[in-house]
Homo-oligomer: A and B are copies of this chain.
Amino acid sequence: MARQERAIRTRRLILEAAGAVFDEHGYTATTISMVLERADVTKGALYFHFSSKESLAQAVLDEQLSLGAVPPQPCKLQEIVDVTFVFGQRLLSNSLLKGSVRLAVDQCAPPGVDHSGPFRQWADHLVVVLEQARAQGELLPTVEPRQTVELLVGAFAGIQLMSRALTDRDDLAERISVLWGHILPSIAVPGLLTAIDRGPDRGLRVLATIDEADAERAELDLSRR
């Protein structure tokens, strides 16, 4: 393995371990030694990538947006719906994402860690997609995209939190479906309401297409070698 590739893998390993520890213990109770033990890397390797617990937390927070990526859709509202279902589905198994979400909703961010970052980044990302939806005539004229996406980001944060508190996120997909059932009639043109797929299994189905595409790409890479 090339040196650079190995460094990228180690960094990833540390981030995933940090996510798991932050998720289980919260920011305050987490120590660098706990992350070292979980990642099974040397102290030197960790400090090569991250200078402190703060910078580790910041890196975990910064990963959040990339973990919610979905394939583009002709209907941009469907794409936004997909983001919420895929994010919810990944939240069941991805420790890095779990840790990132816990840090974002944690009130006790120390100076130097911007825990409000994910809220702003998600809103900034989704407002672009919602503007595309508007350009394509998908939205009711009353929609103000910035207001709507900030509502979605805030509501999603609370819904996953309530689902975690009550059922350890077992019913999260169901709750996301209910959210869209209540919000879509206020933002989508009537003709789209039945066309948009907001079934609770939407996240699983979108993830399956992502995995398929990844597998095809890998096969193509191999045949080219």
Q: A residues touching B (Cβ–Cβ < 8 Å)?
A: 23, 25-26, 28-29, 102, 104-108, 115-116, 119-120, 147-148, 150-151, 153-166, 175, 178-179, 181-183, 185-187
Contact = CB atoms under 8 A, between A and B. Distances in A.
A134 to B, nearest CB: 16
Contacts of A182: 148, 151, 182-183, 186-187
Given A29-B108, A154-B159, A158-B161, 13 more contacts: A26-B107, A28-B29, A116-B166, A120-B166, A148-B182, A151-B178, A154-B155, A154-B175, A158-B160, A161-B161, A181-B186, A182-B183, A186-B186
A155 to B, nearest CB: 4
A221 to B, nearest CB: 40
A102 B157 CA distance: 14
A108 B162 contact: no
Contacts of A26: 26, 28, 106-108
Contacts of A175: 150-151, 154
A94 B23 CA distance: 29
A185 to B, nearest CB: 5
A160 B158 CA distance: 9
A25 to B, nearest CB: 7
B166 A162 contact: no
Contacts of A106: 26
Nearest to A163: B154
A153 B163 CA distance: 11
A195 to B, nearest CB: 17
A107 B151 CA distance: 22
A98 B186 CA distance: 31
Nearest to A165: B116
Contacts of A105: 105, 107, 161
